[in-house]
Amino acid sequence: MPDRQGTLVVGLITASAFMFCAPVWPQGAGAPVVAPAPRTINLTQEQRFIIKEIVKDLHVPKARADAPETIGDTVPKTIDLHAMPPLLAEKVPQGRSHSFFVKEDDDAIVLVSPNDRRVADVIR
């Protein structure tokens, strides 16, 4: 009769070896990995909170749920952008030149660069 404890140990060692091995894919297989676009506006957590608090009190019309929210994506002309209110521009000066919209599904505030209508940052 085989040693059950020895078989169990060998099985565990074999299984753990497979758990820590990363799959190796040949070069050129699949699409190339593209790094996400960097934020074009740098905000502190406090500034993000200020923006969120001010914008929620504005009651602006919300953009549809499928509006882009990935940094670097272009916002279509069909989505209305809102200018930063003076109070917000005063409290968060680097946001002064940006526009924004609020998504209807999760109330995410999407900051948009006005020059190219690209998503600059998303505040949840």
Average pLDDT, stretch 72-87? 95
The per-residue pLDDT for range 22-62, each reduced to its tens digit, is 444 455 556 666 655 666 689 999 999 999 999 999 989 99
Exposure string of 6-23, with b = 16+ CB inside 10 Å and e = fewer, is eeeeeeeeeeeeeeeeee
Where do the structural domains in the chain lie, given as residue ranges? 45-123
The per-residue pLDDT for range 61-74, each reduced to its tens digit, is 999 999 999 999 99
Query: Which numeric CATH code is attached to 45-123?
Result: 3.10.450
